[in-house]
Structure 1
Amino acid sequence: MKRRFGPSLYFANDKVIFDSLNQHAVKADLIRELLNERGILVSAETPKERLAQYFSRLTADYFDHKSIASKLGRVAKRERITYSELKGDIKQSDVVQSLNEIKAELQEKDCTIHIEVVGDRIVALISYQHIDYSKTDLRQVEPRDAIIEFTRNGKDGYVVRSTQNVDIDPLVEQVVSRLDTATLGSVDRVRISLESYTDPMIRTRFFENLVKSIKGYSFITITEAYCFKPKARAPIKDDDDEEEQSDIEKSPYVERVTLRGDGVNKSFIIDDLYKNNYYIIKVVWQIRLQSRVDSDIYELEAQFGKPDSCTGFSYQIRSVFICDDGNITTKKRSPKKEEMDTIYRLIESSAILECSKLATPS
């Protein structure tokens, strides 16, 4: 490849390289590899900090920076999936056209999108770069993959499943907006939400029932529960109440509480939180197949991204604990695609059912 030299908007100096190489996650073997590529042999006894200090003093060009950044690249984590339904007279060609319009815009931003149509299912696979300025300079750019899936839901419309994050959510909104325009405003979007249920006990009950209602799987335990309580603000009626309002704002207040361990839903601590109007917004629990005594253990996560309104529902399989000869081990594996497809749809149907139960007076 021919090298091109010239001015650039950004240059990684020796401090940036030193800070990147001296991170806890970076092993000394990686720095030795970088030095070996330059024909420099070092002792296995040399401390990592000294290796990073030595390498950062060497002259490095754009291609060296790019090589270091790729070696230090962060492994993209598995992200949560979100669900919604589009009801209306939506044609498959309208969905494909809307995705193609988004595709053209993404390609201008050096992102790639591949659209597949298989029967009643339309899948958009997106590859892009996520920038996180809170990380060190050479680790700010993280390659990511995402998915937007449309599946025909009878004659009523489509079910939309997509990766949930700040990059993909706006793209889904754009596609839905284009579909609404194409159908002359006839698209109705339905999401899993507890926005209309403000009672903390009702919102907590949703999660308590959800974790035990995954069809075909046995509930084991809740390992994490995230509780939330919105801060109440007393209205200011006149000038005489300003001092009282100021005292309220200065009083100690805990908005979020996280509980971790086995069976945290049975803890007396969480009972006290419920009494103080906290409610669950995120839960991590474990299940296993009812049909197999030696089934692996699936650790699931479900949450509402916006705790105040309990909207933005999403879910994922965090990991799978391997069961060996009937014994649960600490070894983990990534979930298989068919496992994710099955369990995600079961979580969706259970969440929809629990929402419908809340709407029915007991």
Structure 2
Amino acid sequence: MTRPTARVLALLEILQAGGTHTASDLAERLGVDERTVRRYADHLLDLEVPVESVRGRYGGYRLAPGFRMPPLMLTDEEALAVLLGLVAGRRAGLVSTSREAAETAAAKVRRVLPKALASRLGALFATTDFTSPGREVPTPEAAVMLRLAEATRQQQPAVISYTDRTGRRSERTVHPYGLVAHSGRWYVTGTDSASRELRTFRLDRIAQVRIAHGTFAVPEGFQPADVVLTSLAATPWRHEVAVAVQGTADEVRARLPRGIGGIVSIEPDVGDGADWVLVRLRAERLDWVPGVLAGLALPFVVREPAQLRDIVRAWTDRIAGCAAATSPQEAIAAWGPR
């Protein structure tokens, strides 16, 4: 350590271990002279860390009894980044904790912040609202994520209890090459020892993880994110949807929910020279697609599947009926059975 701030923090870490430490011992461990140790101790006192100077033959420096954790030495921007990270990470499904765990963690951070900064951040969160994420994203268990991360770093096989998308449960041994966070979900990719093929598994579908004996080697140049995206693109879905939309690729992309599908420029189907793009997406159900198409606020032509036309037509009839309704009973009748 060459920076004075790093040495001051190192001094604090030594003192937190407990006991009284002589100036000569601290100087040797920090690589400085005793005079500098005294200056570092004064610096901690300036930060309201209760460092006590003990005189006598067995004297030295120690922390005051009962001291636990010093105020976090964060700038305003750093503290805001930490707290917003807890909130945003939880809402995006990237934090593998319960809502209670995220809230208690944020509360602990607030408690150790300087009073003025804690007050300002408290005002921010008291006057801020967050929009709904739109869907509940299942999050993996913290133990699952941490054990897989350990197995990945140490390049050791992991035995997992997995439930696939059809509900079938199995136990398999995986060589985890990497963890990937994508669209609010966590994935692990690596070789499945049963099939000896490269597989991708969702962490929220893994119930238990046990690190097994042995080691493996990650293929040179392996890119976990690329593998996961390729795997997700090849996942079979019940419906393949293709809709031609009038507009430029940038225009349609800005109006289409993020990550919902791909966009390809196509030749115009009409003689007015307008730009058209083909939007492709995959879905297990089609009942939500009409709302997405309506949200584009652009002319569109359903290419496939043909049944989507009937679903869009029924959806627009319901919307028109609700628009004409003047009472809850009329709206319910216009919408029809659910």
**TM-score of the superposition, structure 2-length normalised?**
0.25
Which structure features the higher share of helix residues?
A: 2
Q: TM-score w.r.t. structure 1 length?
A: 0.24
Q: Which has the higher strand share?
A: 1
Greater relative CO, 1 or 2 (CA 8 Å, sep 6+)? 1
Larger radius of gyration: 2
